[in-house]
Amino acid sequence: MDVLVVDHPLAQSRLTAMRNAATDSGTFRAALRELASMLVYEAARAFEVERYPVTTPVAPAQGTRLANPPLIVPVLRAGLGMTEAALGLLPESHMGFVGLARDEVTFEPRAYMESLPGDLSGLPVLVLDPMVATGGSLVHCCQLLVDRGCTDITICCVLAAPEGIARLENSGLPLRLVTASVDEGLNEHMFIVPGLGDAGDRQFGGM
């Protein structure tokens, strides 16, 4: 699995704001939105383009557009905070939604929503979720996509734990990961260390 770490000063400064426990919800959401733009921008370098003719006010020119804009799939709740940025950069894209909550005892994901096109063959998918902790949530989400025929999945996340990356890798699913950081690891509560806490709670409040 390809892992791209976006080690850019602007991305890292937004990540730092998100890590800081003193950052309020509004600032956290703004930092996530801006960071998501940078992650999606970097992810899109690998997207296939096609050329087409346009006419400038001066002369004919060759234009460029995405050959196959990806389906954008945020993992609820936390992935919602990355959606506006992704849609802003990919206005031609359609969206699907997957709702998952991690069980606090077993740490396995519980699915509560699945709103996806039935046939994803030939359509790349861009999955948005700020956190890859154990990787269970993303493996579950990406398996839903592959079950619908998807063969090309890019995950944009803010933080990934090595344990989660290993689980994604071992899943054998057709994945690429774009992240702002690979952190040290997981603690006994399966929280990423040093991490940023719970990205859903920090954006929207506790459940």
Interface with ligand PRP includes 195 (CB under 6 A)?
no
The 12-51 contact track toward ligand PRP, x by CB under 6 A, reads: ----------------------------------------
Q: What is the 3-state secondary structure (H, E, C) of the chain?
A: CEEEECCCHHHHHHHHHHHCCCCCHHHHHHHHHHHHHHHHHHHHHHCCEEEEEEECCCCEEEEEEECCCCEEEEEECHHHHHHHHHHHHCCCCCECEEEEEECCCCCCEEEEEEECCCCCCCCCEEEECCEECCCHHHHHHHHHHHHCCCCCEEEEEEEECHHHHHHHHHCCCCEEEEEEEECCEECCCCCEECCCCCHHHHHHCCC
Q: Contact between 132 and ligand PRP (CB under 6 A)?
A: yes
Q: How far is the CB of 205 from ligand PRP (least distance, A)?
A: 10
Burial 138-170 (b: 16+ CB within 10 A, else e): bbbbbebbbebebebbbbbbbbbbebbbebbee
Question: Can you tell me which of 131, 158, 180, 196 binds ligand PRP, judged by CB under 6 A?
Answer: 131
In whole angstroms, the minimum distance from the beta carbon of 62 to ligand PRP comes to 41
Distance, in Å, from the CA atom of 155 to the CA atom of 15, rounded to the nearest integer, reads 17
Contact status: 73 vs ligand PRP (CB under 6 A): no
Residues 100-129 touching ligand PRP, rule: CB under 6 A, are 100-102, 107, 109, 129
Q: How far is the CB of 96 from ligand PRP (least distance, A)?
A: 15
**Beta carbon of residue 167, minimum distance to ligand PRP (angstroms, whole number):** 8
190 binds ligand PRP (CB under 6 A): yes
Decide whether 63 or 172 has the Cβ nearer to ligand PRP.
172
Considering the complex, what minimum distance in angstroms separates the CB of residue 169 from ligand PRP?
Answer: 14
Residues that contact ligand PRP, how many (by CB under 6 A): 23
Q: Are 73 and 125 in contact (CB under 8 A)?
A: yes
Closer to ligand PRP by Cβ: residue 96 or 130: 130
Q: Identify the residue among 15, 43, 75, 120 touching ligand PRP (CB under 6 A).
A: 75
The contact set with ligand PRP (CB under 6 A) reads 75, 77-78, 100-102, 107, 109, 129-137, 164, 190, 198-201
